[in-house]
Amino acid sequence: MQMPKVIVTSVVRGSQQGESHGGIFIVDVENNNVEQRVDWNSGDIDFTGRGADRGLRGITFDGDDIYVAASDELFCYNREFKIQKSWKNPYLKHCHEIVCKDRTIFLTSTGFDSLLAFDINRQVFSWGLHLMKQREQWTSFTFDPLTDKGPRAVNRHHLNMVQVNNSGIYMSGLKAEALLHVHQQNQIEEICNLPSGTHNAQTYQGGVLFNDTVNDYLRFVSPNRRSEAFAIRQYKDEEIQFSGIDDSKIARQGFARGLCTFGERIIIGGSSPSTITYYDITTGKAVTSINLTMDIRNAIHGLEIWPFD
């Protein structure tokens, strides 16, 4: 089976500024080729702590346009990776994953425990949903992100993943410890519990697929078929560059984030130092892997199938 190309974003983790802030890459594992298309070297990037503006995040597509999120800004690139336009909103902070459905982009706003919707036709942020948990019950309220009537900045659940399909909106967070489903009238249903420290949780083949980041595994859990636990690739200590440079211990190898699927068999996951690994769910084994850099500060964030060739 030929493995697909992927598009990935990378971010710099930790408190020390490196030579680059990550960027956007096209990865062709079949030909062992990595092409950097954007080098993100914004001068206003903040390097003070987790969740700060250290690179590019979620990726999604609409026609020939490529949408990529930074911490507080949504960028539109063309296929030559030239910025066409960008948009900010006061309720978009520490954005993580994004997804496009029916010309609407849904963005996780971690800094506000919220989802935002961006209307591509109108080119405005058109809707917001703030997630809360009260007396062990999940609840939410909607708000207009073009007004000052929205939520205050709060990051209790560290909302970092959104999936949208015909059955509704699914979301999860690092501290939410659950995969949540948004129904009509914005009712919140807990689909299943998840380990604390989870990234990229999503429904998949009747089960749930997610990066168990704290425990260095990519997991598939299903009530109907065999569950799988793929160990994240680890390197020898002497192979790691800049090990120990981050006093906060945020930058570490094996940090699993970034996840997409290809067909019925292939799962593709990201980890640090920036590595892409392809897994076969039918065999329960890793198929192949490619490394972008051995700099421990550089980690994969966004990861999607490259749709254009």
Q: What is the pLDDT along the chain (309 residues), one digit of tens a residue?
A: 899 999 999 988 765 555 567 799 999 999 999 999 998 876 565 555 444 447 899 999 999 999 999 989 999 999 999 999 999 999 999 999 999 999 999 999 999 999 999 999 999 999 999 999 988 899 999 999 999 999 999 999 999 999 999 889 999 999 999 999 998 778 899 999 999 999 999 999 999 999 999 999 999 999 888 899 999 999 999 999 887 765 556 678 999 999 999 999 999 999 999 999 999 999 999 999 999 999 888 899 999 999 998
Structure tokens, 120: 């591509």
d(CA 55, CA 301): 9
SS3 62: strand
Backbone CA torsion sign across 93, 158, 135, 204: positive
DSSP annotation string for 168-235: EEEEEETTT-EEEEE-GGG-EEEEEE--TTEEEEEEETTEEEEEEGGGTEEEEE-SSS--EEEEPP--
d(CA 18, CA 245): 10
Instruction: State how far the alpha carbon of 146 is from the alpha carbons of 70, 117, 185, in Å.
Output: 19, 11, 21
Residue 214 dihedral angles phi and psi, to the nearest 5°: -60, -35
d(CA 91, CA 109): 7
CATH of 6-305, one of 2.120.10.30, 3.40.30.10, 3.40.50.10700, 3.10.20.30: 2.120.10.30
Is-cis flag, bond preceding 273, omega within 30?
yes
Structure tokens, 55: 């690179």
Within 10 angstroms of residue 190's Cβ, the number of other Cβ atoms is: 15
d(CA 111, CA 100): 21
pTM of the model: 0.94
Q: Sort residue 145 into left (φ over 0), alpha (ψ -120 to 50) or beta.
A: alpha
Beta-bridge partners for 182: 169, 188
Residue pair 186/129 in contact by the 8 Å Cβ criterion: yes
Residue pair 7/306 in contact by the 8 Å Cβ criterion: yes
Residue pair 61/42 in contact by the 8 Å Cβ criterion: no
In this structure, the strands spanning 137-143 and 124-134 are: antiparallel
Q: Can you give the pLDDT at residue 308?
A: 95
3-state helix, strand, coil in the chain (%, to 5): 5, 50, 45
d(CA 303, CA 299): 11
- Can you give the residue ranges of every domain in the chain? 6-305
Q: Can you give the pLDDT at residue 16?
A: 56
Structure tokens, 62: 């609409």
Q: Can you give the pLDDT at residue 51?
A: 46
